[in-house]
Amino acid sequence: MHYAGGFLYNPRTKEVLLHKRDWKTNIHPGQWAFFGGLSEGDETPEETFRRELKEEIDVEAKSAEVIPLCDYFNSERGTHRHVFYVESELDKSRMKLGEGADLDWIPISKLFEYGLTDKTRSDLEIFLRKMKV
């Protein structure tokens, strides 16, 4: 079993689409995080990420659109963590929130003003270094 998650990135507007977790969850309630979750069956990490995007915001990402960002062992959860992103200019109005309290396109310049989970914050720092944004 592994965790796979990530975000959408709009290179034109320099915004990242994140998910605000609802207050019903035991893990990071009310915080901003990636779209994602645990694998089901024999899913690959990419398949898990693509399924989670579909379940959580009704967005279908093609395999060729999914860009790996990082992967590492998450000792807090005892699972391997795979992080991906998809470049997209999709308007928020064309998404349907299936889980969580909210979702929003967040300007990179304001990302760290949001209540991000620790892993989301550190993974986004990797993204910013790689993108030199």
User: What's residue 132's pLDDT?
Assistant: 83
Q: Report the sign of the C-alpha dihedral through residues 75, 70, 81, 5, in that order.
A: positive
Query: Does residue 9 carry a pLDDT above 90?
Result: yes
Measure Cα distances from 131 to 71, 105, 117 in Å: 17, 18, 21
Higher confidence at residue 129 or residue 27?
Answer: 129
User: What's residue 83's pLDDT?
Assistant: 98
* 99 confidence band (pLDDT: 50, 70, 90): confident
How does pLDDT run across 26-78, given as a tens digit for each residue? 788 899 999 999 999 999 999 999 999 999 999 999 999 999 999 999 998 88
Q: What is the mean pLDDT of the chain?
A: 95
